Amino acid sequence: MTILALAVSVEELARELPAALEGRPEITFGNVAGSILAFFLCNAGLIALLHPVAVPPEVLHFYLPVCFLTVAFGIGCLAALRMPRWAGGVLVVAYGVFFVGAYLR
């Protein structure tokens, strides 16, 4: 599933990169935030409506904390009205840690 998510993200990156390179990063952030909200609110909601989803312990002990930390970091950067390059590097490294952690579980 992680590989599938990476493949979908690469496609979205290819779609969003031109706006960022043209000096319109707000379009990119808006589209990414919209995609994430659509996934969590619509897809997860529809799946739960069709069949209740059991939450395994590793979700509470690994995935949920990583999700909260990265969202909090992103919100902190966006609240400062700037997402510097080092913050982008932190997010890419965090994804690498997440990928390895998910693989090792």
Q: What is the pLDDT of residues 9-18, one digit of tens each?
A: 777 778 788 8
Q: In the chain, what percentage of residues exceed pLDDT 90?
A: 30
CB-based contact 77:84 (threshold 8 Å): yes
- Residue 1 pLDDT: 63
Residues recorded for the chain: 105
Q: What number of other Cβ atoms are within 10 A of residue 29's Cβ? A: 16
Its pTM stands at 0.68
Structure tokens at 78: 């966006």
Q: What is the DSSP string of 49-102?
A: HHS-----HHIIIIIHHHHHHHHHHHHHHHHTT---HHHHHHHHHHHHHHHHHH
- Residue 38 pLDDT: 82
Question: Mean pLDDT throughout 68-80?
Answer: 89
Residue 86 in this model has a pLDDT that exceeds 80? yes
Sequence ranges of the domains in the chain: 1-53, 55-105
Q: What is the pLDDT of residues 12-44, one digit of tens each?
A: 778 788 888 888 878 877 887 787 788 778 888
